[in-house]
């Protein structure tokens, strides 16, 4: 820790202290978290829930862990730098009597949802999404051309794996204002759909420049939700009523409020987006992938977002290693016409069409500058697409394969460790 100098304390919480620091060697700024718990072995360090998760994750909208330092019995996690939280960011705007445009809200929410979609695909859910756990960096840019706000999900202290063997989960976990109804009635069998509810609360907060449901207790929180969305149906949500009865809470009859009265500046698409999210029954809430396809994002220029500034993201968006291997083999075959015969031409076209359809469902592909694919009629369409995609694969094949393989062995090359003598050692995570 001698290489780092604390320049500002961000927060001092029960589990540890978070601060901004500067590396005295490279003069770069970082975020450091000094955990209060005592750690006596490296094995204990790498079993920390947040460390395990961040060693697995690799997404442009998820904060990266750069280094682990074990100093005596103390563990210090070093993360990439961010300027402020989303909460601090909009508070500063509100103090200046400013507010987000709907375009900025779309850009922020698309990045948040993309990161959570990635987490859910990796079989993890966050459980504590709120503006305080989302970091923000701003960039100088022409707002007519590109976004100047990059957001990243941070604070994975209570992140858990999505698995029945880990259930039941702790019922009292997230910040009250962002808890889903099933958490408010102390259900311990909730699912990753609690993240979807929290996403809706964050979206509403960006429009209002303040929380939508700021209850002072769990019962008050439920009442505030019902004032907006009405009383839930017992037929639709039997579990919700069962758990509520254990709390001796009865749902009063309330009618829903017209959302346009609460969000006068929101578009029709935004209002429908919220209605889809705020479902009492978690089964009826959409997935993150479905949210990203909602008309709310149709006019968003995804290419302008900071998360899509490198061609390598075309590989990162593949959901399964098998998709990559199968699709890459099909592209290689198309690129080599000597391997194709006239007898197999129709069958190959059909197979590749099916694979492209499957691939496109899992891929959010921003066009790169001077690198556009414009479909044309006839057989040249297949060849043109092959050359277009082959170029990206050649540039990113090695990186993409390494990333996909690392998902199984939990390796992150950027993490190093420091022993008690102050000497750097290569950090070798367990498999």
Residues 6 or more apart in contact with residue 248 via CB below 8 angstroms:
none
Collapse the DSSP code of 340 into the 3-class scheme (helix H, G, I; strand E, B; otherwise coil) and give the result. coil
Counting every residue, how long is the chain? 431
- Which is the catalytic residue, given 121, 128, 349, 379? 128
Residues 6 or more apart in contact with residue 268 via CB below 8 angstroms:
none
Spatial separation of the C-alpha atoms in residues 228 and 164, rounded to whole Å: 33
- 343 backbone dihedrals φ, ψ, rounded to 5°: -70, -30
Strand-by-strand arrangement of the 149-153 sheet:
84-85, 134-138, 149-153
Spatial separation of the C-alpha atoms in residues 327 and 283, rounded to whole Å: 32
Q: Say whether 128 is catalytic.
A: yes
> What is the DSSP annotation of 363-414?
---PPBTTB-----SSTHHHHHHHHHHHHHHHHHHHHHHHHHHHHHHT--TT
* β 16-23/4-12 pair status: antiparallel
Collapse the DSSP code of 65 into the 3-class scheme (helix H, G, I; strand E, B; otherwise coil) and give the result. strand
Residues assigned a catalytic role: 128
């Amino acid at each position: 820790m001698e290489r780092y100098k604390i320049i500002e304390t961000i927060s001092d919480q029960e589990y540890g202290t978070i601060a901004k620091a500067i590396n005295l060697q490279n003069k770069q700024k970082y975020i450091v978290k000094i955990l209060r718990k005592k750690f006596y072995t490296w094995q204990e360090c790498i079993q920390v829930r947040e460390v395990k998760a961040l060693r697995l994750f690799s997404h442009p909208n998820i904060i990266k862990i750069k280094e682990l330092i074990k100093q005596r019995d103390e563990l210090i996690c070093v993360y990439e730098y961010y300027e402020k939280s989303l909460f601090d960011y909009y508070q500063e705007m509100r103090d200046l009597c400013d507010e987000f445009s709907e375009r900025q809200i779309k850009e922020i929410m698309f990045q948040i949802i993309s990161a959570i979609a990635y987490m859910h695909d990796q079989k993890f859910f966050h459980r504590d999404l709120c503006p305080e756990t989302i970091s923000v960096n701003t960039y100088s840019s022409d707002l007519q051309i590109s976004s100047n706000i990059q957001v990243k999900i941070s604070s994975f202290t209570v992140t858990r794996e999505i698995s029945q063997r880990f259930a039941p989960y702790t019922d009292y976990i997230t910040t009250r204002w962002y808890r889903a109804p099933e958490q408010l009635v102390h259900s311990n069998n909730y699912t990753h759909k609690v993240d979807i509810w929290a996403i809706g609360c964050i979206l509403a907060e960006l429009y209002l420049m303040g929380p939508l449901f700021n209850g002072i207790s769990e019962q008050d929180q439920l009442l505030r939700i019902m004032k907006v969305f009405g009383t839930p149906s017992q037929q639709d949500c039997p579990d919700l009523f069962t758990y509520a009865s254990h709390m001796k809470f009865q749902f009063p009859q309330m009618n829903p409020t017209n959302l346009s009265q609460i969000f006068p500046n929101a578009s029709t698409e935004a209002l429908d987006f919220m209605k889809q999210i705020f479902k009492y029954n978690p089964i009826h809430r959409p997935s993150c992938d479905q949210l990203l396809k909602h008309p709310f994002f149709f006019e968003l220029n995804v290419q302008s977002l900071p998360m899509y500034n490198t061609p390598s993201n075309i590989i990162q968006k593949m959901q399964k290693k098998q998709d990559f291997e199968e699709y890459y083999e099909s592209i290689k075959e198309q690129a080599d016409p000597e391997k194709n015969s006239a007898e197999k031409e129709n069958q190959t076209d059909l197979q590749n069409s099916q694979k492209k359809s499957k691939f496109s469902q899992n891929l959010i592909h921003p066009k790169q500058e001077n690198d556009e694919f414009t479909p044309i009629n006839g057989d040249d369409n297949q060849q043109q697409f092959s050359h277009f995609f082959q170029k990206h694969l050649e540039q990113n094949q090695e990186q993409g394969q390494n990333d996909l393989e690392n998902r199984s062995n939990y390796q992150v090359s950027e993490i190093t460790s420091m022993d008690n003598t102050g000497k750097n050692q290569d950090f070798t995570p367990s498999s």
